[in-house]
A and B are shown apart, each in its own frame.
Chain A
């Protein structure tokens, strides 16, 4: 990095030194600029429950948060993954667990470890959405090769400071809550949802539709998998929610918004969401992850 800098005061051009003399130290992160004040911190809660009807839990969740504080602070980093396995004969949880472990391994290896090594985002880093997509692709290959007939939804959230990058396949969901509004970020890859999107079914009809569980995309399917990606900002005084269909299928958006906004902590929000879904019948496994950012 050859950088000749003139700081603050105007100086006669003749004083400009040679490039060699003025190389900025490439090893120091961010050059001489101090890290922005009020660097954000991450807080997350999570809960999973078998529900009141099923005998075993095919949902899997993973949370990972990291902070390096001090004068040479690193960006707050978080990885949150939720998978809802399918396939019966107990291969459901095998698929979801394998998928989650694979994504976490890939992201930590290709994104987080290089960050620890260099102390700053690499100058030739893979874009986060691509890194997540590649991790989901890898998970899909692993499930296809190792869990015959098994499949899983997979919703992955990677957070750097308040920037959230989401990769998603299936009908688990990501929502963002802010300022009284709960907005669904992800799109369900279900036939019924596609029909709702096109105005051919109402949300009420979809909720009781016999084919509401049929997915047209799942991790572990044969061949190319198209992964949806989304970039969001986690708002201050807002929360981001990942959940399986055992949660959103049992509770209305209003109910989810009420709990997410009122709960004292992210963990309390998750506990209350699971309790509410169970009270509503708990027909499927219930999983929730809530992430928030504070200064």
Chain B
């Protein structure tokens, strides 16, 4: 596991998968992905596929709720919960 925080990994993933022309560090944790960074259903799909590949998680249809995807902070909470649920005894991704 690298020392990179979960939030930093998510920002790198967002820039990579969405072909954003900004450094990952410029993405603010609580800014809206849809309104502020132009994420739409297409890029969201790329992002979800990226999350599944990067973190080895599976996102179910019933989990497609905007509150999980509205910002980097929200995504981090969502991914952390998925990782914790997958292996309750293991340390969280940000630890």
Do A and B truly interact? Answer: no
State the B residues within 8 Å of A (CB): none
Measured CB to CB, the residues of A under 8 A from B are none
